[in-house]
Amino acid sequence: MYTAVDGARVPIRMWADPASVEDQAMRQLHNVANLPWVHGVAVMPDVHYGKGATVGSVIAMRDAVSPAAVGVDIGCGMSAVRTSLTAKDLPDDLGKLRRRIESAVPVGFGLHKTPVNPAKVHGVGGWDAFWKGFGELHSGVQELHDRAARQIGSLGGGNHFIEVCLEQGGADEGRVWLMLHSGSRNIGKELAERHMAVARKLPHNADLPDRDLAVFVAGTPEMAAYRRDLFWAQDYAARNRATMVALLKQAVRDELPQVTYGDAISCHHNYVAEETYDGVELLVTRKGAIRAGSGDLGIIPGSMGTGSYIVRGLGNDSSFQSASHGAGRRMSRTKAKKLFTADDLAAQTAGVECRKDSGVVDEIPAAYKDIDSVIRAQTDLVEVVAHLKQVVCVKG
Ligand code: 5GP
Ligand code: MN
Ligand code: MN
């Protein structure tokens, strides 16, 4: 259940203890809820400070959208697939499986030498129309197009990851799942930043408490241009993840030829959707939140050493049919690097085949909130389908 936080033009519904939310995040929430175009704000239990607007929140607006609230990784999200394997099928040497995955999917700044052949990405069509759409929007920008094509099917860095997980408890104890976290790579960032710069200069944004909250409004050419790039980048992100799922499935099949797969689950957690509530058409921005409409399958990851959850939405309108996108950060990357060492990381990722060097100390499990508490705080938004724990984690 949520707590209503007053003091803004529209109520802020919060699935977290308001006392636990940092001051600067609370200020951001009030700034957002005071925007003239805002219809409602829902705050998820993984909420924390973010650029422009908090991560772990849902902003429903009428006839407006804030590009900084969507963020630079347009369409960032998760994909997961259940396999026919169980723990006993996995090799003792998980390092080999990890290396196979790392050679199938470029990570960090890596991209494909030549674009992945779309014929290899089963179940995803419409590639010609997709690229034509980009060409029509950005004709003559061949360099941008070529880079975007070679980044399809690549992971990126930071906390983007690929995991091999085992189901915990229940009738399907030990079931192997594959999951991954990535978005629209550099092309999404490039498009987002262009539009954010345009929005900041629009006269109707002159008096905002925070210039990062600059919005586009319906009926303007700037809004039309943003919407086209936004929805294209969301599609790009979904295709990027679908391509990686195909490459990942093949990599696991090369190691374990008997494997078969269920249908992939895919959910954005940084995106905009047009949805109607009580007859009002809204632009719903989920920035670090997933859609949790009735029956929707979603993925809520914890950290590189704790579990993750596959969930099913309950269709609760009070959160604009949304749920958290993860455990959420407990502290900044800078603070995590100050507080913890590579030895701490190794201790907190015991039993996980993953990087344990100082380069990923800012991703240490203790830098994130407790995923189980985050799940317990939203039992009116989602129900748990499967509780997973990783045995392999590849980070960019
Ligand atoms: P974000 O999209 O905000 O960058 O991160 C999404 C969420 O993923 C974080 O809030 C965190 O709970 C979770 N997370 C970060 N790194 C990992 C990881 O390596 N493995 C898993 N399972 N979850 C992670
Ligand atoms: Mn991302
Ligand atoms: Mn993300």
pLDDT of residue 236: 98
**DSSP state, residue 213:** G
- Sign for the CA dihedral angle at 316, 321, 325, 329 comes to negative
How many angstroms separate the alpha carbon of residue 293 from the centre of ligand 3?
Answer: 20
d(Cα 127, Cα 132) in Å, to the nearest integer? Answer: 8
Element (H, E) at 109: none
pLDDT tens profile 6-65? 989 999 999 999 999 999 999 999 999 999 999 999 999 999 999 889 999 999 999 999
Structural domain for 254, as ranges: 72-266+294-314+324-330+368-395
d(Cα 281, Cα 304) in Å, to the nearest integer? Answer: 38
CB 48 within 8 A of CB 328: yes
pLDDT of residue 119: 87
Q: Quote the number of domains for the chain.
A: 1
Residue 363 lies in a domain: no
Confidence check: pLDDT of 334 > 90: yes
pLDDT tens profile 238-265? 999 999 999 999 999 999 999 999 999 9
Residue 358 lies in a domain: no
Give, in order, the Cα–Cα distances in Å from 173 to each of 115, 177, 215, 311, 377: 38, 11, 47, 16, 24
Ligand 1 contacts CB of residue 363 (under 6 A): yes
Residue 126 lies in a domain: yes
Q: How many CB atoms neighbour CB 144 within 10 A?
A: 15
Domain with residue 256: its CATH number is 3.90.1860.10
Residue 298 lies in a domain: yes
pLDDT tens profile 120-163? 898 899 999 999 999 888 877 888 899 999 999 999 998 899 99
pLDDT tens profile 95-127? 999 999 999 999 999 999 999 999 889 889 999
Residue 4 lies in a domain: no
Kindly state the tokens that stand for 113.
């030498």
User: 325 an active-site residue?
Assistant: yes
Ligand 1 contacts CB of residue 54 (under 6 A): no
| DSSP strand pairing (161-167 vs 322-324) | unpaired
d(Cα 352, Cα 163) in Å, to the nearest integer? Answer: 10
Residue 347 lies in a domain: no
Helices and strands (H, E) in the chain, number of each type: 10, 18
**Residue among 39, 195, 268, 325 flagged as catalytic:** 325
d(Cα 269, Cα 279) in Å, to the nearest integer? Answer: 24
Report the residue among 48, 290, 303, 391 best suited for mutation to probe ligand 1: largest number of ligand atoms under 8 A from its CB: 303
Alpha carbon nearest to ligand 1 atom 15, residue: 303
- Which ligand 1 atom lies nearest to the CA of residue 306? 22
pLDDT of residue 198: 96
pLDDT tens profile 190-200? 999 999 999 99
State the DSSP string of 111-143.
--SSPPPGGGSTT---HHHHHHHHHHHSTT-HH
φ and ψ of 13, to 5 deg = -95, 125
pLDDT of residue 141: 81
The overall pTM is greater than 0.90: yes
Give, in order, the Cα–Cα distances in Å from 122 to each of 174, 242, 244, 333: 27, 9, 11, 37
pLDDT of residue 364: 97
pLDDT tens profile 288-312? 999 999 999 999 999 999 999 999 9
CB 31 within 8 A of CB 9: no
Kindly state the tokens that stand for 240.
């990027």
The answer to whether the complex's ipTM is over 0.95 is: yes
Classified as helix, coil or strand, 387 is strand
The residues whose Cβ lies within 5 A of ligand 2, an ion, are 73, 76, 183
CB 155 within 8 A of CB 396: yes
pLDDT of residue 95: 96
Element (H, E) at 195: helix 185-200
pLDDT tens profile 344-365? 999 999 999 999 999 999 999 9
CB burial string 225-255: b at 16+ within 10 A, e below: bbbebbbbbbbbbbbbbbbbbbbbbebbeee
Binned at pLDDT 50, 70 and 90, residue 170 comes out as: very high
Residue 111 lies in a domain: yes
Percent of the chain past pLDDT 70, that is, above it, reads 100
- Closest ligand (CA of 73): 2
pLDDT of residue 5: 96
Average pLDDT for the chain: 96
Alpha carbon nearest to ligand 1 atom 14, residue: 303
Residue 9 lies in a domain: no
